[in-house]
Structure 1
Amino acid sequence: MTTVENGSGTRELTGKRALVTGGSRGIGAAIVRRLLDAGAEVLATARSATSTVPEGAAFVAADVRTLAGAEALAAAAHEALGGVDILVHNVGGARPHPSGLAIPDEEWQDALDLNFLSSVRLNALLAPGMRERRSGAIVHVSTAAVVPPAPPFLHYQAAKVALENYSRGLAAELAPSGVRVNTVSPGRTATPGGEATRKHWESLGVGPGAVGTPPLGRDGRPDDIAHAVLFLVSDRASWLTGQVVGVDGGEYPRG
């Protein structure tokens, strides 16, 4: 495995054990690579048993949309790593619909399970160990596109807004134990999943259609998000918790 020095110039995560959900492609795979490059031992997950992850990472197939799936993943993490010091919730997604009212009930539930409750359940299983060790870092991957509301994607946006609020609350609860919780909110990023979603949205005739370039002049790259995650789980961010960090090229300014 090729080693790439991270921003601090050292393998700053040596000895750390990391779990990354949705780590087989796009942003998730970039996060796995950056954590490996920084010296962490990494277990990556994806729903399909045929998924591949960056060289050097361990892999387990996991469907975190259910409590049973989260429990199985937590057990696998303890078996493979002996515990988790860094937990990155990257898994997520949903498909757009012609309108908010057209989103079926089962897709509302799936969006909540995948984009919100998967994090709640896995944190409930793994954060207590961090609290006992009085050390740990949790990062939730949300989306910068939670505003303005977009009817075709309301189920996804609502789940991510809930995730961000939950993340702040969990940060307050765990801070006295030295466990930090933050959120990264990516903007439009060049990934296969993102491109497929945008094409589907445009095909409905109700999506954003042609969109302008973000103020910084290009779409995001998976590594842009991964660098932010690496910073937040490192000791360089030891005074940061309860934050939502937008990584979007200035496309979605928040007040």
Structure 2
Amino acid sequence: MAASGTGVSWKARLRCALLRGTPQGLQGAGRCASVDAAKSGHSRPGADNPIHSHSPGNSSVSFARVCAMQISFRGKKVVVTGASRGIGWSIALAFATEGADVAICARGAQGLEAAEVELRRHGGAVFAMPCDLAEASAPASFVAGAVKALDGIDILVNNASGIGMRDDESGWRAGIDVDLMATVRATQTAIPFMEKAGGGVIINISSISGFRAVPRTLPYAAVKAALINYTMGQGLALAPKRIRVNAIAPGSIEFPGGVWDNRKASDPQLYQRTLDGIPWGRFGTPEEIARVALFLASEMGSWVTGQTIVVDGGQLLASRTGPSATLPAS
């Protein structure tokens, strides 16, 4: 059934919305362009409210409008920590591609500058700030600077990780200061701005390590478990303020210069053992995490809060039936 006034079925519009930026979506770019052009056929402001999509007479129209329109982030203000490479970079790029104004931070100035240049190519406002989020004042300083530069904040993505792997003082300090406390501090800074604006979205990047015992990386696993619990608590506490809080728990993610790319050379046996423990048969990509972040931040996820979404090709399920190794995703 076609959506009224557009001649485009809701299934086609949903497919184009969800596959935008993927290889399948690029192959069908011509068809999706026609779908995008058909958006001008929408009428009656507010008619895309998903609450009203349950009646048979208007379900396809309303659902199509939600799917086609609400994946766009044009005009939204998105703040991403640890975003010069890997998962954080892919998330920032995905939002910029969908029209958002984006703020990013990272410790390395060179990588940050390159990321800023690429983000600006997509036409939105960009704010980039070098900072070490392990410093107690840095998260609040970055978020406040981003709010000023972008004139607001709609979405906060807490991605930065200290990758605390060794069971010693430095490993625990890196995990607690960056993964946990930087997330708490950035969130505490963002909440008043979101509350004043009438709502917002917070996404915390955890890990499947937070769901299981990982003796090899005790600090990393412990702080990622803490983030999962923090996400549940904040989701409950902030729901009345219309601020949704969710987390993503990636499995083993491979990208140039990342942990698993390095392990391929430094410890090929561990690399292969981990790969063999992933039912999907390959490591994940940062882009696959970014697409889940887009969903959680969009109106398509408007009733999702306090949840942790596992994105791992079945890796966590397999680990519960046999031994496997898990290292940080980023």
Segment drifting more, 7-16 vs 55-64: 7-16
Q: Which residue of 1 aligns with 2:259?
A: 194
> Which of the two has higher C-alpha Rg?
2
Secondary structure of 1:210's match? helix
In 1, distance between residues paired with 2:263 and 2:149? 36
Label 1:247 to 1:147 Cα distance change in 2 as closer, same or farther (>3 A). Answer: same
Q: Aligned to 1:150, which of 206, 214, 235?
A: 214
Query: 1:213: how far off?
Result: 4.9
In 2, distance between residues paired with 1:115 and 1:21? 10
Q: Gapped runs of 5+ residues in structure 2?
A: 1-15, 19-66, 121-125, 321-330
Q: Could you tell me which amino acid in structure 2 is paired with residue 89 of structure 1?
A: N
Q: Gapped runs of 5+ residues in structure 1?
A: 98-102
**1:31-78 C-alpha deviation (Å, 9 max, x unpaired):** 111101211111111112222213324311122222211122122112
- 1:1-255 superposed matches below 5 A: 6-7=17-18, 8-10=67-69, 12-51=72-111, 52-53=114-115, 54-56=118-120, 57-97=126-166, 103-191=167-255, 192-195=257-260, 198=263, 202=267, 210-211=273-274, 212-253=276-317
In 1, distance between residues paired with 2:101 and 2:241? 23
CA contact (8 A) 2:205 2:247 kept: yes
Q: Could you tell me which amino acid in structure 2 is paired with residue 29 of structure 1?
A: W
CA contact (8 A) 1:46 1:62 kept: yes
Q: Could you tell me which amino acid in structure 2 is paired with residue 169 of structure 1?
A: G
CA contact (8 A) 1:213 1:219 kept: no
The count of aligned residue pairs is 244
In 2, distance between residues paired with 1:106 and 1:188? 23
CA contact (8 A) 1:6 1:37 kept: no
Query: 1:210: how far off?
Result: 2.0
CA contact (8 A) 2:159 2:204 kept: yes
CA contact (8 A) 2:127 2:146 kept: no
CA contact (8 A) 1:30 1:223 kept: yes
**1:96-144 C-alpha deviation (Å, 9 max, x unpaired):** 34xxxxx221321121111111000111111121122221000000111
Label 1:138 to 1:200 Cα distance change in 2 as closer, same or farther (>3 A). Answer: farther
In 2, distance between residues paired with 1:198 and 1:115? 22
C-alpha RMSD of the superposition: 2.3
TM-score (normalizing by structure 1): 0.87
Segment drifting more, 135-144 vs 77-86: 77-86
Secondary structure of 2:247's match? strand
In 1, distance between residues paired with 2:262 and 2:214? 14
Label 1:92 to 1:169 Cα distance change in 2 as closer, same or farther (>3 A). Answer: same
CA contact (8 A) 2:127 2:150 kept: no
Segment drifting more, 192-201 vs 222-231: 192-201
Secondary structure of 1:146's match? helix
Q: Which residue of 2 aligns with 1:100?
A: none
In 2, distance between residues paired with 1:208 and 1:228? 25
Secondary structure of 1:184's match? strand
Segment drifting more, 8-17 vs 78-87: 8-17
In 1, distance between residues paired with 2:164 and 2:303? 36
- Identity, in percent, stands at 32
